[in-house]
Structure 1
Amino acid sequence: MEVILREDVEKLGSRGQVVKVKDGFARNYLLPRRIAITANEGNKKIVEQERQSWLRKEAKIKVDAEGQAQLLNGITLEFARKAGEEDHLFGSVTSGDIEEGLTKKGFNVDKKKIRLEEPIKVLGEHKVIIHLYKDVDAEITVNVVKEA
């Protein structure tokens, strides 16, 4: 059965693409969840219009993300934490702390977009990547200093 995908499906295809799938997969999974619609001429025209609208919307979101990335690049956040010997922190600096720091500076960034492999537990300067959109990343500096 041929269906038109209404959203991206991993290992199957992307939005607006016509794919051939087994009848059972289409009837029992894709169609009831409105992830896909049957591929006929009327639906192809509707999906093409939706796709054009979606592409315009995606372009606007990407431009906004690129603008925010330019503003974020070079931002430095400073956190004062208690530290023991050898500059190891008693606590840590997490993505939630970074989100809070960015909010205080006037940036609205979701903490899920902050790419920290693990919380920062050492004093010093650390580069942190913020993933704003598919191909748009910003890099900020997080400076962790010893609390007086």
Structure 2
Amino acid sequence: MKVILQKDVKDIGKVGDLVSVAPGFARNFLFPRKLAMEATETRVSEYEHLKRVSEAKKKKAVAERQALLAKVNGIALNFKVSAGETEKLFGSVTTSDISRELENKGFSVDRRDIHLEEQIKVLGNHKATIRLGDNLETTVQIVVERA
């Protein structure tokens, strides 16, 4: 019997896979637990359409992230903060601050996508990496000056 999986099933397949299983396994295990549905012609064509739409959305999202990274690449962000005489900051520059500054410049980047090599607690030049998904990353320059 052919079924379309609605959830990942160990040793059978992943969500959306069209698999062939024993009729008893489908009726007694997969269907009652809503792990699969019977693969009729309409359901298969409906699922294939949804799969194409989903893939198109994913490609569009990746293209948008790549365009954002291309715009942000190499940008310099300036922060004016108060610091002591030893150039140590009173506080620090955080990923939230960097995200807010990027938003002020017209780029929407979540603070969780920004990664710092180390906390920014001294004046000077620093680098932050922006990672947006698999193999999509760029670096921005952080310039911290005395206020």
Shared fold (TM-score greater than 0.5)? yes
Supply the distance in 2 between the matched residues of 1:24 and 1:145 (Cα, whole angstroms).
Answer: 64
After TM superposition, list the pairs within 5 Å mapping 1:112-123 onto structure 2: 112-116=112-116, 119-123=119-123
Q: Which runs of 5+ in 1 are unaligned?
A: none
Residue aligning to 2:105: 105
Residue aligning to 1:66: 66
Aligned length: 138
What's the offset of the Cα at 1:115? 2.2
What's the offset of the Cα at 1:46? 2.6
Shift of the 14–92 alpha-carbon distance from structure 1 to 2, 3 Å rule, reads: farther
How many percent of aligned residue pairs carry the same amino acid? Answer: 32
| TM superposition score normalised by structure 1 | 0.71
| TM superposition score normalised by structure 2 | 0.71
Q: Which runs of 5+ in 2 are unaligned?
A: 22-27
Residue aligning to 1:40: 39
Residue aligning to 1:126: 126
Is the counterpart of residue 79 in structure 1 residue 79 in structure 2?
Answer: yes
User: Max radius of gyration: which structure?
Assistant: 2
Decide whether the 8 Å contact of 2:89 with 2:121 is kept in 1.
Answer: yes
Secondary structure at 1:78 match in 2: strand
Decide whether the 8 Å contact of 1:130 with 1:137 is kept in 2.
Answer: yes
Shift of the 91–57 alpha-carbon distance from structure 1 to 2, 3 Å rule, reads: same
Could you report, residue by residue, the CA deviation over 1:69-101 in whole angstroms, capped at 9, with x for unpaired residues? 110001100111222354321111111111111
